[in-house]
Amino acid sequence: MHEDLVSSIRVELAQSAEEKTKASSARFFKEGINCYGVKAATVIKIADKYFRQIKDESKQEVFSLCEHLLASDLFEESSVAFDWVYRFRKYYEPSDFEIFEEWIGKYVNNWAKCDTLCNHSVATFIETYPDYMHRLKEWTASDNRWFRRAAAVTLVLPARNGKFLEDVLEIADRLLEDEDDLVRKGYGWMLKEAGKAHQQEIFEYVMKNKTVMPRTSLRYAIEKGIEVFPLLQRSLHAI
């Protein structure tokens, strides 16, 4: 059944592909991307359509099916997989952290895959099991750029809601002078979202670190969200 399901998904994705979308994706991902060329809205519809056929399966069965899709390295198939994984968020348990960690190491090879998995599924896991925060912080020391970015983008949505401020600042400290541009953008984004609930604390953090924080991180943390930081309107010249 599952082999037939995967085959059906692949046929529908291939039939929905557009050369224009594929070419646009190739330009958008500097690190490269392997894709059909299907619009995001169409991928979501396909994910929803086929999820109805597996929604009563066990989490283990669905995760196994997701890994089968991830192994293809095709971007749209990973999008379907990560959509399904998030739909099972009510059933996450501690052992799932090892699965998510393995998937990042094996299957995440661009920022969109990283963010799709971590913004939603890994973030929900950390909110449910905050004792695993120390494992998230360990990712900041990884040689794999996607683990380092994942450590930050996992906290983007919780930070927006005012959660984990101390952990946000610690992760930012650990990544502060990271040499990878996508990691810099990731922790800058995390800081910006944290600033929506903790404006003063993030302002003070940025001002304290302005001489060493890479310009990319600074832009993402402050300048792209200047409406959140009126305190900086008179201070930007000093940065």
Per mean pLDDT, which of 15-24, 78-87, 201-210 is the most reliable? 78-87
| pLDDT for position 226 | 46
For 171-186, how does the pLDDT look when each residue is reduced to its tens digit (9 = 90+)?
A: 999 999 999 999 999 9
Residue that wins the pLDDT comparison between 236 and 39? 39
| pLDDT for position 70 | 97
**Alpha-carbon torsion, ordered 167, 168, 173, 176, to 10 deg:** 150
Average pLDDT (188-206) is: 94
For 84-102, how does the pLDDT look when each residue is reduced to its tens digit (9 = 90+)?
A: 999 999 999 999 999 999 9
Provide the whole-model pTM.
Answer: 0.91
Q: At 98, which amino acid appears?
A: E
| pLDDT for position 12 | 97
**Class of residue 78 by CB neighbours under 10 A (exposed 0-12, middle 13-18, buried 19+):** buried
Which range is least confidently modeled, 45-54, 73-82, 127-136, 211-220?
211-220
DSSP per residue over 133-166, as a string?
Answer: HHHHHHGGG-SSHHHHHHHHHTTHHHHHTT--HH
Q: Which residues contact 11 (CB under 8 A, 6 or more apart)?
A: none
| pLDDT for position 2 | 75
CATH code 1.25.10.90 region(s) in the chain: 93-239
Sign of CA dihedral 101, 102, 103, 108: positive
For 183-192, how does the pLDDT look when each residue is reduced to its tens digit (9 = 90+)?
A: 999 999 999 9
Q: Domain 93-239, what fold?
A: Leucine-rich Repeat Variant (1.25.10)
Distance, CA of 8 to chain centre: 27
How far apart, in whole angstroms, are the C-alpha atoms of residue 207 and residue 176? 13
| pLDDT for position 3 | 77
If one counts every other C-beta atom within 10 angstroms of the C-beta of residue 31, the result is: 10
On the question of pLDDT at 25 being above 90, the answer is: no
On the question of pLDDT at 230 being above 70, the answer is: no
How far apart, in whole angstroms, are the C-alpha atoms of residue 147 and residue 138? 9
For residues 178 and 156, the answer to whether their CB atoms sit within 8 Å is no
How far apart, in whole angstroms, are the C-alpha atoms of residue 34 and residue 73? 7
